[in-house]
Chain A
């Protein structure tokens, strides 16, 4: 077994995330790798192009900390709460620095990743026509369908330099089991040039092989494997901890001003060594409230003659 892939988040970010990279921290609401974002901030990466369908709080933090030059996205809000204030401050006022935007619909951006993952030259899709988006984004083009002659919208493949994919469990080589909302994890892993897998649990390869349908990312895509419990907090991991909705609401208050945002980042990101220290610092009663009631699936039989 090639266990040299196992490393800390600090080592993985240091080795695989460079200034100027296009970075995709995967996860549609679910399993957003906050610990990776925090480590990227701590290591002072800059001029990154941050890509995510929903920038979420994690990119809001990275934008506030000055890591980002450009944002590729499709929905820049805090769902059920309101705006992403740091994104807006950067985009509207250039604070702390200007932020370029490259905007798609959800289908457009997830289609770009799918096209990147499957090495398609471009992907046709039934959306964008009639919308103002193509006029503001040169990468959304309209071509003639060679079969019907109709106008059809196309998007180019997206191949991030590095993707971080957090999973419930992986083996030491990076074979990864994911369940719950699977978002764009698989597409991001297949599309990216380098992949950091982080996992709530590192399990034996036999556990993975007992349930191969659940392996969305096979090991040969993974450049590194990080054992990082609670990596996704305040996002969630199905079956491990629930979404910290209270924090998502609090973020709206924390980010009212750039200064108050930076106080948070100073205390909770720059002021801690790693995720373990962040978790130690987090009030235990709040974390206990996030632990889910179990709901196990029925076992399946993978037997053969």
Chain B
């Protein structure tokens, strides 16, 4: 079996989190690969909804953007941008939303807006797009991110999309209809969130990874689940199906 890259590993582990019959709001890039992979494996009835208003897409090739024409050809429905956010997302009809970002903290708050200060940014990032809307309204937020110290931070420079804020109390006060962060999948491990405190907790280590490695790449003292598991290694069928989705390696670099 050929070695999988860190990105391939994250996509494969993320895809396993999707269940048949769920609805998923799909972002461009890696989340799109994870959703399409799940659909080809354990979740043929996954309903893929795109921010661009395409519902029930069946893309014949990998779209570069979420507004790609291949998401429309053969889709179940296409609605306007406002309708997508109002009827589908705010309507409470989306189970899973994938998010990424430049920074994430231990409560799953995400920054995709600026590094540095908002008014005088060191690096201006694209901004929320639909991310804050998704984070506020889906039942489960799944974050896919490389495990790097610059990404995992004590405090995000800017809070673009709410996670559990400062723990579950802060989140409850907002009365969001969504369920909040559910999992963070990195190239080293899978985190889920403590039921009581809302803190990110390592629940599974990927093959060959030690908890020390996770700690070295996380700036706070990581919480580890009592029943820490090992992530089952990628299966041949997962690897083959994934590589077939992105033959030109646009995202699987």
Nearest CB on B from A243, distance (A) = 7
With contact pairs A76-B126, A80-B65 given, residues A129 and B176 touching in the complex (Cβ less than 8 Å) = yes
Question: Contacts A28-B81, A80-B28, A129-B162; is A107 near B124 (CB within 8 Å)?
Answer: no
Closest to A236 in B: B69
Q: Which residues of A contact B72 (CB under 8 A)?
A: 180-181, 238
**Binding stretch for chain B, among A4-12, A182-190, A266-274:** A182-190
**How far does the Cβ of B165 sit from chain A's closest Cβ, in whole Å?**
6
Minimal beta-carbon separation of A29 from chain B (angstroms): 2
B79 contacts A243, CB within 8 Å? no
Q: Nearest residue in B to A125 (C-beta to C-beta)?
A: B90
Q: Are B177 and A126 in contact (CB under 8 A)?
A: yes
B137 interface residue per 8 A CB criterion: yes
- Would you call B160 an interface residue if the criterion is a C-beta within 8 Å of the partner chain's C-beta atoms? yes
Question: Residues of B within 8 Å of A, CB-based: how many?
Answer: 56
Q: Quick one: closest B residue to A81, CB to CB?
A: B64
A278 within 8 A of B: no
User: Is A132's CB under 8 angstroms from B158's CB?
Assistant: yes
A77 to B130 Cα, complex, angstroms = 13
Q: Chain A contacts of B73 at CB under 8 A?
A: 295
* A127 B133 Cβ-Cβ under 8 A: yes
B residues 147-204 touching A (CB-CB < 8 Å) = 158-162, 165, 170-171, 174-177
- Tell me whether A30 is interfacial, beta carbon within 8 Å: yes
Q: Mark A113-140, 1 if CB is under 8 A from B, else 0.
A: 1100000000001111111110010000
Interface residues of A in 1-37 (CB under 8 A from B): 28-30
Chain B residue with Cβ nearest A91: B124
**Which residues of B lie under 8 Å from residue A185 when comparing CB positions?**
80
Are B54 and A113 in touch, CB under 8 angstroms? no
Indicate if A215 sits at the interface (CB-CB under 8 A). Answer: no
B105 to chain A, nearest CB (A): 13
Does A110 contact B131, Cβ atoms closer than 8 Å?
A: no
- Which of B54, B69, B89, B113 touches A243 (beta carbons < 8 Å)? B69
User: With A80-B65, A129-B174, A133-B128 known to touch, is A113 a contact of B162 (CB < 8 Å)?
Assistant: no
The answer for the CA separation of A125 and B176 in the assembled complex, in Å, is 11
Task: Give the interface size class of chain A.
Answer: 35 or more
Pairwise interchain contact A29-B66, C-beta atoms closer than 8 A:
yes
Chain A residues within 8 Å of B21, by CB: none
**Interfacial chain A residues near B159, Cβ < 8 Å:** 130-132
B107 to chain A, nearest CB (A): 11
Whether B222 sits at the interface, judged by CB under 8 Å, is no
Q: Are B51 and A106 in contact (CB under 8 A)?
A: yes
The answer to whether A106 and B133 have CB atoms under 8 Å apart is yes
Interfacial chain B residues near A136, Cβ < 8 Å: 118-119
A250 at the interface (CB under 8 A from B): no
Give the residue among B54, B78, B176, B251 with the most A Cβ atoms within 10 A: B78
Kindly state whether residue A288 has any CB partner on chain B within 8 Å.
no
Q: Is the pair A53, B161 in contact by a Cβ cutoff of 8 Å?
A: no
Q: Kindly report which residue of chain B lies nearest to residue A89, judged by CB atoms.
A: B124
User: Known contacts A75-B129, A105-B132: does B113 contact A132 (CB below 8 Å)?
Assistant: yes
Interface residues of A in 255-303 (CB under 8 A from B): 292, 295
Interface residues of A in 151-209 (CB under 8 A from B): 151, 179-187
User: How far apart are B124's CB and chain A's nearest CB, in angstroms?
Assistant: 5
Contact of B80 among A83, A103, A186 (CB under 8 A): A186
- Cβ distance A238 to chain B, nearest Cβ, rounded Å: 5
**Which of these, A29, A87, A114, A180, contacts B65 with CB under 8 Å?**
A29
Q: Report B61-81 residues with CB < 8 Å from chain A CB.
A: 64-69, 71-74, 78-81
CB distance from B3 to the nearest CB of A (A): 25
**A105 lies within 8 A of B131 (CB):** yes
CB distance from A102 to the nearest CB of B (A): 11
Q: Does B121 contact A (CB under 8 A)?
A: yes
> Is B29 positioned at the interface, with any CB of A under 8 Å from its CB?
yes
Q: Let me know if A79 is at the binding interface, CB within 8 A.
A: yes
User: Given A126-B136, A127-B132, A132-B158, A106–B67 Cβ distance below 8 Å?
Assistant: no
CB of B82 within 8 A of chain A? yes
**14 A/B residue pairs, CB under 8 Å, sorted by A:** A80-B64, A106-B51, A106-B85, A106-B129, A106-B130, A110-B85, A128-B136, A130-B174, A130-B176, A182-B53, A236-B69, A238-B72, A243-B68, A248-B64
Q: Which residues of B contact A (CB under 8 A)?
A: 28-29, 51-54, 64-69, 71-74, 78-82, 85-86, 89-90, 113, 118-119, 121, 123-133, 136-137, 158-162, 165, 170-171, 174-177, 250-251
A residues near B (Cβ < 8 Å) are 28-30, 53-54, 73-77, 79-81, 83-84, 87-88, 91-92, 103-108, 110-111, 113-114, 125-133, 136, 150-151, 179-187, 236, 238, 242-243, 245, 248, 292, 295
3 interchain residue pairs of minimum CB distance: A29-B67, A77-B126, A130-B162
- Can you name 8 extra interface pairs (CB under 8 A) apart from A77-B127, A248-B65? A29-B65, A80-B29, A92-B124, A106-B85, A107-B132, A107-B133, A130-B136, A295-B74
